[in-house]
Amino acid sequence: AVSAPRPINGETLKADGHVIPEPAAQVAEATGVRSIAYSVIAYLLGAPSGTMVLLAIAQGLLVGLIFAVFLETFAVQTYRSGTVAALVLATCTPLSFVCVFVVPDIFTGLLIVTLLALGVAVERMSIALRLLFVASAVLAVSTHASHPPLAAAVTLVCIISRIYRGDRRIAHLVWLIAPLALGIAGTLVANRVGFGETSLAAKRYP
């Protein structure tokens, strides 16, 4: 009786003794690869003992700060109005729950809010506030692969809105475009260094 062909060291042995090399195995692309930026943040703020308490606190403080400035940007400046808005967001929306989870989802909302604030009231912001909002938006762009196209869409809407309102000052447009440009550039560099590919969405592990 002749034995059935069987694989030997990546090759197939036929019944007549001929050896046929098998094609190289295809390596499946990695899915769900977290961004380098958010991974580093989670690692640095993972204390104590990996409980991520510091990360949750940091995310909550950043959201609260952006939220407070955002209210003033849209003229909600009274203590009563701000308190009511804060209570509604904290109890009637998933905002507070998302803040304490170790996921980059919270940065989706922050990205939209920071870009809208820059688009509507950049001229009323101090340089320090502009830098805070740009830095927050850059971080938000880099925390997830779905954020660059979202940032591009919101930025385009804000640019069209400013031009429609008659504000074509280059300096204001630069502040608005900066988060998208810097976020994409930082993500490309980080993925090149960490994953070995120049891509906005990493497809392999470090």
- DSSP result, 142-179: HT-TTHHHHHHHHHHHHHHHHHHTT---HHHHHHHHHH
pLDDT value of residue 6: 54
Collect contacts of 162-167 with beta carbons under 8 A, ≥24 apart: 162/119, 167/123
On the question of pLDDT at 154 being above 80, the answer is yes
Would you state the structure tokens that stand for residue 126, as one six-digit string?
């101090």
Tokens 């190289």, residue located:
24
Exposure string over 125-162, b if 16+ CB within 10 A, otherwise e: beeebbebbbebbbbbbbbbbebbebbeebbeebbeeb
State the chain's maximal CA–CA distance in angstroms. Answer: 92
| pLDDT score at 1 | 55
> Which tokens in the block code for residue 137?
């938006």
Q: Which of 3-12, 30-39, 170-179 has the lowest mean pLDDT?
A: 3-12
Tokens of 19: 């050896």
Q: How far apart are CA 138 and CA 111, in angstroms?
A: 8
C-alpha pair distances (Å), 194 with each of 146, 161, 203, 205? 19, 37, 11, 8
Q: What's residue 21's pLDDT?
A: 56
Instruction: Record the pTM.
Output: 0.78
pLDDT tens digits for range 78-94:
778 888 888 998 899 99
